[in-house]
Amino acid sequence: MKIRPTTAFLAVFAAAGFATLPAMAGSAGESRVGSIYRPYVEPSAADLADTPPPPGFAPFYVSHYGRHGSRRLADASLAGALAVLEKAAEEDSLTETGRELAGELRRVAAAHDGMEGMLTERGAAEHRAIAGRMAARFPEVFRSGGLVRCRATHVPRCIMSMANFSLGLKDAAERLDIRGFLKNDDEESNDVKKHVVMS
């Protein structure tokens, strides 16, 4: 059999890539290769070193762009795997490990039923913590009476992420005027149906 150079290169490249996966694991054993499914990891105090402002200057504004927090699975991607396991169970061809896996998968599917793509409790806590750290690091920006404008798309997990971020700011800094807007809303409108005010 003749191996083409391209095929050999791809095989070596793939093997080298898989060999690096254990090296990419974090010191706490957390996987760094989970892509979009890897939960947000709270930074350590050492990771939060700020560049000091030049003499005579102080922070006065913060622009924060955040993605939604940890969410439940966005679709019925469990259905296919569960169907295969259920069919195997009907044919009595599952091992003990297969039966355990099917049970675990049923529990995960039940936890996601009707909640596909929604923000999890962990995702809500992530945003409250990010806001709290921001307020603690920049107290001069989040002083009493300051205005905070938050904006989210109409996707429920994004709205809930914005709301939890706002709650984190409200808990960390007293008497802020926090206004949440949905994408394309008129920020100058006083219509309470269009925005939520926390003060």
Q: What is the pLDDT of residue 30?
A: 54
Q: Whole-structure pTM over 0.75, yes or no?
A: no
Residue 90 CB neighbours (<10 A): 9
Report CA 76 to chain centroid distance, whole Å.
19
In this predicted model, what pLDDT tens digit does every residue of 28-53 receive, in sequence order? 455 566 666 677 788 887 888 888 88
Which of the residue ranges 16-25, 67-76, 141-150 would you say has the lowest mean pLDDT?
16-25
In this predicted model, what pLDDT tens digit does every residue of 136-184 receive, in sequence order? 988 888 887 788 889 898 888 899 999 999 999 989 887 888 888 887 6
Q: What is the pLDDT of residue 146?
A: 83
Average model confidence (pLDDT) across the chain:
76
Between CA 51 and CA 43 the distance in angstroms is 16
Question: Once rounded to an integer, what is the mean pLDDT over residues 87-116?
Answer: 89
Phi/psi zone of residue 95: left (φ > 0), alpha (ψ -120 to 50 degrees), beta? beta
Question: Which residues face 177 on adjacent strands?
Answer: 147
First-residue to last-residue Cα distance in the chain: 74
Which of the residue ranges 26-35, 55-64, 103-112, 135-144 would you say has the lowest mean pLDDT?
26-35
Between CA 102 and CA 21 the distance in angstroms is 27
How far is it between the farthest Cα atoms of the chain?
76
Question: Once rounded to an integer, what is the mean pLDDT over residues 94-115?
Answer: 88
Tokens of 147: 């205005």
In this predicted model, what pLDDT tens digit does every residue of 1-20 receive, in sequence order? 443 433 333 333 333 343 44
User: HSE on the CB side for 79, CA within 13 Å?
Assistant: 6
